[in-house]
């Protein structure tokens, strides 16, 4: 008997015993998170591809308890925002990376993580990293998982599991600006030939298609994050040489324009796709709140990266074994030139799971999960 089959037998025995005791049992357990996106939520997929966008080296993961402080491919010092949200919603374990060899059988009932550092909505995004798993390919990979769920649970149960107990989390778009439209060398042709409005149209067109494809594969409960204030990350502040309390205007303007279009798209999809619930996580305003009022949240700096090197904000060289690292990791909003620290991720996750409509709408994730 295979491991997955053995686990299914054990689960059935435990379930029968609980029913005999008169307990209410949910056959699908604590639920699942299927995670799509970029390095903000990558749990290690890029470890398995030849990419220049990797975090499987120290000191990344130094505060990640599940690995004993060893790097896992997460682009932060500890848990990603997706990890923390899964914990808060009672998920039994972290959603494993799709490309990890042990992401098979019963493991996929916790959900699966398809996110990839350097990924974007557009396939051309992130070329600088050589390889990355863009959103189109991430949805293709979910299609493989979808068939595995049919094999594991049977077609009807798999459909019920996905529609009732699974949350589909999408955190993507930053690289379409940082490593595509705003890139000085690689995308000069794009910038000259395409106006901002035309580029945004392109992004929304492709994202609509990607989200609709997930819906046709039985995804129903979605949380889609908007793009954060890109002009405030240490990398952008360093290369543009702005003051400590300033952010770079153009990246933030583009992010705000995209976010307006994203809000309209999710309203449209909520109206057009029967049974679907699309929630918008307002990461832009959440991160701006943290950056603006960082002392109120126990941080010492919202401009200097904890791990990195170069310029006033340690914002040029990504975190790695040879870069400097701060002592008080929980006092920095940013872990490295691009990504929040675990301490910042914990605060962001709390607002998305239990917050009000300023930061998560039309309902928070705890409400969405309970539907």
Domains of the chain, start order: 28-286 (3.40.50)
Is the pTM above the cut of 0.75?
yes
Give the three-class secondary structure for 206: helix
Known catalytic residue at 332: no
Expressed in percent and rounded to 5, the helix, strand and coil fractions of the chain are 45, 10, 45
Known catalytic residue at 336: yes
From the list 308, 301, 348, 349, the residue with the least C-alpha distance to 325 is 308
State whether the Cα torsion 292-295-300-305 is positive or negative. Answer: negative
Round to whole Å and give the CA distance between 271 and 278: 10
Give all strands (DSSP E) within the chain, no chain letters. 32-37, 166-171, 221-225, 277-281, 307-308, 324-325, 360-361
Give the three-class secondary structure for 28: coil
Q: pLDDT per position in the chain (371 positions), as tens?
A: 444 444 443 343 333 333 333 333 356 678 899 999 999 999 999 999 998 899 999 999 999 999 999 999 999 999 999 999 999 999 999 999 999 999 999 999 999 999 999 999 999 998 888 789 999 999 999 999 999 999 999 999 999 999 999 999 999 999 999 988 887 654 445 555 678 999 999 999 999 999 999 999 999 999 999 999 999 999 999 999 999 999 999 999 999 999 999 999 999 999 999 999 999 999 999 999 999 999 999 999 999 999 999 999 999 999 999 999 999 999 999 999 999 999 999 999 999 999 999 999 999 999 999 99
Give the long-range contacts of residues 245-252, CB within 8 A, separation 24 or more. Answer: 245/303, 247/291, 250/182, 251/177, 251/178, 251/182
Question: What letter does residue 278 receive in the DSSP assignment?
Answer: E
Q: What is the pLDDT of residue 25?
A: 39
Q: What is the pLDDT of residue 180?
A: 86
Q: Do residues 167 and 33 make contact, with C-beta atoms less than 8 angstroms apart? A: yes
> Which of 33, 39, 53, 341 is flagged as catalytic?
39
> Which of 38, 42, 339, 341 is flagged as catalytic?
339
Q: What is the pLDDT of residue 13?
A: 36
**Total count of residues recorded for the chain:** 371
H helices of 71-154, in order, are 81-88, 135-153
> Which of 169, 303, 336, 341 is flagged as catalytic?
336
Q: What is the pLDDT of residue 130?
A: 78
Known catalytic residue at 26: no
The two structure tokens encoding residue 261: 């279009």
């Amino acid at each position: 008997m295979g491991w997955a089959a053995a686990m299914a037998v054990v689960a059935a025995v435990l379930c029968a015993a609980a029913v005999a005791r008169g307990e209410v049992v949910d056959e699908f357990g604590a639920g699942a998170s299927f995670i799509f996106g970029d390095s903000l939520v990558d749990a290690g997929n890029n470890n398995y591809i030849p990419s220049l966008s990797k975090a499987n080296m120290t000191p990344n993961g130094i505060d990640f308890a599940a690995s004993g402080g060893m790097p896992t491919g997460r682009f932060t010092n500890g848990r990603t925002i997706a990890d923390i949200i899964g914990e808060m919603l009672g998920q039994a374990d972290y959603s494993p990376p799709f490309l990890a060899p042990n992401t098979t059988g019963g493991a996929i009932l916790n959900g699966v993580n398809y996110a990839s550092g350097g990924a974007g909505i557009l396939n051309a995004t992130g070329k600088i990293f050589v390889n990355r798993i863009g959103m189109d390919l991430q949805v293709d990979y979910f299609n493989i998982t979808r068939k595995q769920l049919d094999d594991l649970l049977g077609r009807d149960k798999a459909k019920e599991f996905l529609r009732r107990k699974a949350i589909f989390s999408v955190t993507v778009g930053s690289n379409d600006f940082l490593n595509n439209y705003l890139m000085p060398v690689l995308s000069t042709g794009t910038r000259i030939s395409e106006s901002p409005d035309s580029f945004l149209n392109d992004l929304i067109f492709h994202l609509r298609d990607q989200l609709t494809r997930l819906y046709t594969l039985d995804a129903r409960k979605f949380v889609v994050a908007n793009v954060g204030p890109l002009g405030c990350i240490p990398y952008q502040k360093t290369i543009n040489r702005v003051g400590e309390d300033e952010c770079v205007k153009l990246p933030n303007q583009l992010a705000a324009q995209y976010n307006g279009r994203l809000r309209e798209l999710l309203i449209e999809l909520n109206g057009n796709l029967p049974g679907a619930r699309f929630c918008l996580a307002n990461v832009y305003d959440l991160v701006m709140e943290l950056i603006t009022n960082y002392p109120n949240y126990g941080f010492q700096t919202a401009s200097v990266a904890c791990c990195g090197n170069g310029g006033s904000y340690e914002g040029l060289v990504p975190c790695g074994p040879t870069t400097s690292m701060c002592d008080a990791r929980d006092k920095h909003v940013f872990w490295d030139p691009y990504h929040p620290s675990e301490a910042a991720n914990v605060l962001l996750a709390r607002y998305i799971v239990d917050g009000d409509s300023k930061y998560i709408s039309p309902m928070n994730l705890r409400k969405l999960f309970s539907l």
